[in-house]
């Protein structure tokens, strides 16, 4: 019998995905000159496209040139040339699957060494203990800045469709801007964007409405949402359930569930919450709970590396199983599963006690593999996390110099 993993999925927009396996967004932070995708990203996505996934979701594409999650972030705004994005979409669709662009604004999660703006719903800084200085100090957004940011999401989505992408995923998880508005720990506003969950969800819902209005009905619109942010008094599974219900009438095709933020990096499998301690499918317990009431199809990402786990996720009622790290190491994993094979290796685990540093090293390890894939090389999952981190920090310093110069020039031109 054909596994449900390899059965097609029809979405509300009319789009049909070839199978139920998605490459979830990983923050590549691999933009070339001008904060644009170039041959590095094209090569990487061609590798993934050839590996059998039904859907590729890009890493963060920034809606605001002055607000990047990292100095090598890709920016698609009104001023960006479209041709590099056309090429990126073409690379992602080379194997017959779909490609969606993840669109994002980091809000307060911006490095203190970065130029530009550090905005949040309120002036509440990221708390990473002794690492807190790594992030800038946020200022509370004005109503005008909120409205302008809603418009930026719509512009990026419209241009993604023009470039040939099949959909967008609006990032409202992992402690980025829309997630900050949802969190009662970060959002201390007393106006129409603060207080009740309805008010805290207002910006996300406005973004979804603006995006849906800017693109054609056949273009997919998805939302990435925390199932919980694993902080006492924070956004929890009951909040997630209510937000999914609010999204249902707005023409959303899919909600991807993840969890955590830089303050509690559950997405790296390191949350304090006992329910996420299982090594694979970190958020499955929460997803099982949400899937019972969800009016929208759900996608689950986090720690899935084996076919049996992916099938367990689908058996729970989740529509799509998302993988990040597993596909960074084994880009053809879906094709292997079809042939009854598994991955030969997994990424070397980071067992450091410093959570913030371990999370950064884990991301550096992943990017090291992505660069190898982009060059057409074999992955080296055994690379030591410390080596990957040092190499990544060097690259980021170079990228920061390039970004500073580019931003100064583009602001001067504007």
> How far apart are alpha carbons 254 and 322 in whole angstroms?
12
Hey, what are 122's tokens? 């309120």
Q: State residue 133's pLDDT score.
A: 85
Say whether 307 sits in a helix, a strand or coil. helix
pLDDT in 10s for each residue of the chain, 414 residues: 346 999 999 999 999 999 999 999 999 999 999 999 999 999 999 999 999 999 999 999 999 999 999 999 999 999 999 999 999 999 999 999 999 999 999 999 999 999 999 999 999 998 878 878 889 999 999 999 999 999 999 999 999 999 999 999 999 998 999 999 999 999 999 999 999 999 999 999 999 999 999 999 999 999 999 876 656 677 888 899 999 999 999 999 999 998 666 555 555 444 434 443 344 666 788 788 899 999 999 999 888 999 999 999 999 999 999 999 999 999 999 999 999 999 999 999 999 998 888 988 999 999 999 999 999 999 999 999 999 999 999 999 999 999 999 999 998 876
Nearest to 44 by CA among 61, 23, 63: 23
Cα distances (angstroms) measured from residue 185 to each of 119, 123, 194, 220, 277: 15, 11, 11, 31, 24
> How far apart are alpha carbons 108 and 113 in whole angstroms?
13
For the whole prediction, is pTM greater than 0.85?
Answer: yes
Residues in the chain: 414
Q: State residue 230's pLDDT score.
A: 59
> How far apart are alpha carbons 67 and 113 in whole angstroms?
12
Task: Kindly give the residue spans of alpha helices, DSSP state H, lying in 272-378.
Answer: 284-291, 307-315, 325-329, 333-338, 355-374
Q: Which domains does the chain have, with CATH numbers?
A: 4-413 (3.20.20.70)
Cβ-contact 108, 186 below 8 angstroms: yes
Nearest to 249 by CA among 300, 297, 295, 199: 295
Nearest to 80 by CA among 36, 39, 49: 36
């Amino acid at each position: 019998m054909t596994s449900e993993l390899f059965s097609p999925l029809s979405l509300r927009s009319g789009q049909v995905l070839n199978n139920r396996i998605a490459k979830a967004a990983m923050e590549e932070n691999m933009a070339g000159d001008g904060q644009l995708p170039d041959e590095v990203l094209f090569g990487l996505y061609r590798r993934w496209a050839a590996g059998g996934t039904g859907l590729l979701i890009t890493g963060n594409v920034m809606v605001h040139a002055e607000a990047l999650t990292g100095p090598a972030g890709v920016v698609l705004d009104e001023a960006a040339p479209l041709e590099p994005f056309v090429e990126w979409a073409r690379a992602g669709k080379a194997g017959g699957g779909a490609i969606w662009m993840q669109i994002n604004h980091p809000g307060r999660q911006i490095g203190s060494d970065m130029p530009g703006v550090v905005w949040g719903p309120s002036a509440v800084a990221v708390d990473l203990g002794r690492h807190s200085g790594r992030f800038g100090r946020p200022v509370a957004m004005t109503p005008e800045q909120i409205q302008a940011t809603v418009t930026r999401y719509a512009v990026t989505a419209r241009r993604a469709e023009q470039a040939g992408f099949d959909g967008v995923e609006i990032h409202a998880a992992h402690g980025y801007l829309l997630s900050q508005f949802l969190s009662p720990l970060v959002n201390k506003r007393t106006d129409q964007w603060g207080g009740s969950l309805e008010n805290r969800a207002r910006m996300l819902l406005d973004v979804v409405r603006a995006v849906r209005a800017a693109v054609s009905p056949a273009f997919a619109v998805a939302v990435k949402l925390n199932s919980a942010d694993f902080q006492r008094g924070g956004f929890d599974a009951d909040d997630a359930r209510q937000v999914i219900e609010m999204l249902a009438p707005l023409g959303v095709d899919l909600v991807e569930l993840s969890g955590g933020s830089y303050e509690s990096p559950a997405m790296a499998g390191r949350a304090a919450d006992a329910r996420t301690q299982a090594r694979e499918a970190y958020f499955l317990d929460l997803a099982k709970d949400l899937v019972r009431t969800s009016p929208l199809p759900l996608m689950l990402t986090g720690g899935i590396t084996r076919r049996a786990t992916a099938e367990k996720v689908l058996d729970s009622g989740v529509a799509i199983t998302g993988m990040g790290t597993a596909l960074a190491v084994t880009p053809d994993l879906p094709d292997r599963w079809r042939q009854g094979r598994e991955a030969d290796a997994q990424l070397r685990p980071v067992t450091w006690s410093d959570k913030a540093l371990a999370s950064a090293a884990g991301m550096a390890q992943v990017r090291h593999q992505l660069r190898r894939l982009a060059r057409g090389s074999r992955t080296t999952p055994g690379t030591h996390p410390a080596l990957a981190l040092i190499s990544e920090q060097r690259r980021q310093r170079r990228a920061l110099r390039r970004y500073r110069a580019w931003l100064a020039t583009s602001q001067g031109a504007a």
